[in-house]
Structure 1
């Protein structure tokens, strides 16, 4: 079986950070469960999207985790220092913009 871990590392290493912010890992799409889209997660994502202030991303990670999110990609992205911008793939998944 072929392991694609090298492709993921190469992908992140050679893309500008803003591309990873908008598209995530293009070699390994992340599944997003609708059950993680709670009213709290939706409200946080909406507020960040409208204000373009993404300082609440770690709080969003906590809300998603409380909703049962166990996706390392989603949680690590929310807890990363960014940059976070409008078009963030996690925020867009919550707001059903993708």
Structure 2
């Protein structure tokens, strides 16, 4: 069992967990990504997000994916989550084919 943490340590752990979820997603729920979702809009948005580090656009990527037929709740809810997104975000990397 971990020792009791002070408020600052708890905040730091929560931030680290959020960062790990953004990068790795849920390893217990593997996803299948349909290549039909890779429209020109989806790819352009993902490239722009990645290259410009414009992670405020990730919710817009969710809209584009949904317009392309994506109905995967894990992908869409992650993109629309209020948590911070960073370079290495698993959805952006999935769209761009990065491992």
Shorter-normalised TM range? 0.7 to 0.9
- Establish whether residue 46 from structure 1 lines up as the match of residue 47 from structure 2: yes
State the 1:79 CA deviation.
Answer: 0.4
Q: CA deviation at 1:57?
A: 1.1
Gaps of 5+ in 2: 1-13
Q: CA RMSD in A?
A: 1.3
Unaligned runs of 5+ residues in structure 1 are 1-12
Within 5 Å, give how 1:1-98 maps onto structure 2.
16-98=17-99
| Structure index of larger Rg | 2
Q: Whole-Å Cα distance in 2 between the matches of residues 58 and 84 of structure 1?
A: 10
TM-score for both structures, normalised by structure 2: 0.81
**Post-superposition, which runs of at least 4 consecutive aligned residues in structure 1 deviate over 4 A?**
none
* Matches of 1:57 and 1:17, distance apart in 2: 16
Displacement of 1:66 after TM fit?
Answer: 0.5
Give the TM-score taking structure 1 as reference length: 0.82
SS of aligned partner of 2:22 = helix
Judging by fraction of residues, say which structure has more helix: 2
